């Protein structure tokens, strides 16, 4: 039954996120044209910058789109359809969370893929090897080499997934609370307030936890080292090392999973469909 729920939610959300995907595609295409036909390198760089900004905007819009979709399909008119299904409320929430994650994650992947494509094409145009070009750019932007950045990519992909997970869960919590008395009196403001407060609380807790348990991995060029103290290891290895803490992401993941319970509880016991 969960598979059917997920299929239906992916389909429902597709109609809401499709315009964003189309916009992203068009923006990427415009960026391509800038790179291919731009006469000056400044114009090409500016084009790429505008494309990156537009894509970041699309990434934010998609978050709002999935939030509205959740609100519509659970608490709006379609709630009559959703909440009368003979399925567990927790399954309903999980299915909506997972489909939101799939859509938001896809657009972020698209964003990074187009960024790499842009770097590659600019490099080609300027007669610079892609590796050298990326190396120069990453060293310029973050002070790290391409080898370090590639090793970091997997970590970032996982970390992005976890961040998206907690954002979606906090959003769902905010929307759900805004349909339960007494937060319902404040409407959208209540939903936004609950979202920011819950997100800030989670981030503070995980921040403190990270300082308390600094275990993680340090990447220096292609070498990955697991360590009990990330900061000490970075200090030891020097400027080209980059560290990642495990405690924070793991706790964020655990809290994201746990947030399903208050959302389910409120929908199951406190929400009235208007």
Partner 1 sequence: MSVITASGLTKAYGNNVVLNDISFSLPEGKIIGLFGPNGCGKTTLMKILSGLIHDYSGEVLVNGNKPGEKTKAITAYLPEQTFVHDWMRNIDAVDYFNDFYSDFDKNKALEMLKRFGLSEKQKSKTMSKGMQEKLLLSLVMSREASLYILDEPMGGVDPATRGAILDFIMQNYSQKSTLLISTHLINDLESVFNHALFIGKGSVLINDSVENITAGGKSIEDVFKEVFSNVW
- Nearest residue (CB) to partner 1, 40 versus 272: 272
- Nearest residue (CB) to partner 1, 12 versus 98: 12
210, 202 contact by CB (below 8 A) = no
In angstroms, give the least distance from the CB of 103 to partner 1: 15
- Nearest residue (CB) to partner 1, 21 versus 209: 21
DSSP one-letter code for 218: E
Given the structure tokens 């199951």, which residue do they identify?
268
Q: Is the dihedral of CA 108, 136, 131, 126 positive or negative?
A: positive
- Nearest residue (CB) to partner 1, 2 versus 37: 2
- Nearest residue (CB) to partner 1, 77 versus 211: 77
- Nearest residue (CB) to partner 1, 73 versus 256: 73
Cα-Cα end-to-end distance for the chain: 26
118, 31 contact by CB (below 8 A) = yes
CA distances from 116 to 33, 41, 104, 127, 128 (A): 16, 17, 19, 16, 14
DSSP one-letter code for 92: H
In angstroms, give the least distance from the CB of 180 to partner 1: 9
In angstroms, give the least distance from the CB of 271 to partner 1: 7
Tokens of 130: 């892609």
Torsion of CA 135, 137, 139, 141, to 10 degrees: -150
In angstroms, give the least distance from the CB of 45 to partner 1: 40
In angstroms, give the least distance from the CB of 83 to partner 1: 6
- Exposed (0-12), middle (13-18) or buried (19+): which is 98, by Cβ within 10 Å? middle
What beta strand segments (E) does 21-143 contain? none
Tokens of 224: 């990955």
In angstroms, give the least distance from the CB of 66 to partner 1: 15
Helix 247-258 vs helix 187-212: crossing angle, to nearest 10? 140
State which H helix or E strand residue 219 sits in: strand 216-220
Dist. CA 3–CA 9, nearest whole Å: 10
In angstroms, give the least distance from the CB of 18 to partner 1: 10
- Nearest residue (CB) to partner 1, 127 versus 182: 182
In angstroms, give the least distance from the CB of 6 to partner 1: 11
- Nearest residue (CB) to partner 1, 89 versus 210: 89
What is the contact surface with partner 1 in residues (CB under 8 A)? Answer: 1, 4, 7-8, 11-12, 15, 73, 77-81, 83-88, 181, 268-273
């Amino acid at each position: 039954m969960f598979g059917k729920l997920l299929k239906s939610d992916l389909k429902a959300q597709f109609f809401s996120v499709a315009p964003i995907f189309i916009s992203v595609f068009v923006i990427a295409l415009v960026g391509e044209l800038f790179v291919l036909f731009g006469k000056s390198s400044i114009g090409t760089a500016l084009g790429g910058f505008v494309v990156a900004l537009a894509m970041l905007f699309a990434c934010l819009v998609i978050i709002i789109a999935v939030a509205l979709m959740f609100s519509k399909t659970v608490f709006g008119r379609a709630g009559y359809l959703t909440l009368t299904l003979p399925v567990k409320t927790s399954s309903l929430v999980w299915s909506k969370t997972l489909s939101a994650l799939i859509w938001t994650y896809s657009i972020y992947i698209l964003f990074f893929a187009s960024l790499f494509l842009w770097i590659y094409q600019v490099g080609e145009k300027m007669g610079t090897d892609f590796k050298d070009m990326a190396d120069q750019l990453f060293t310029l932007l973050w002070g790290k080499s391409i080898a370090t950045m590639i090793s970091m990519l997997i970590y970032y992909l996982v970390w992005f997934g976890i961040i998206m997970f907690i954002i979606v869960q906090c959003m769902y919590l905010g929307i759900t609370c805004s349909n339960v008395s007494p937060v319902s009196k404040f409407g959208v403001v209540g939903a936004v307030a609950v979202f920011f407060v819950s997100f800030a609380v989670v981030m503070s807790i995980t921040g403190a936890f990270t300082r308390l348990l600094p275990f993680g991995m340090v990447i220096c060029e292609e070498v990955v080292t697991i360590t009990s103290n990330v900061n000490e290891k970075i200090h030891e290895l020097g400027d080209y090392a980059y560290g990642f803490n495990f405690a924070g992401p793991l706790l964020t993941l655990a809290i994201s999973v746990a947030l399903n319970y208050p959302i389910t509880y409120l929908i199951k016991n406190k929400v009235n469909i208007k």
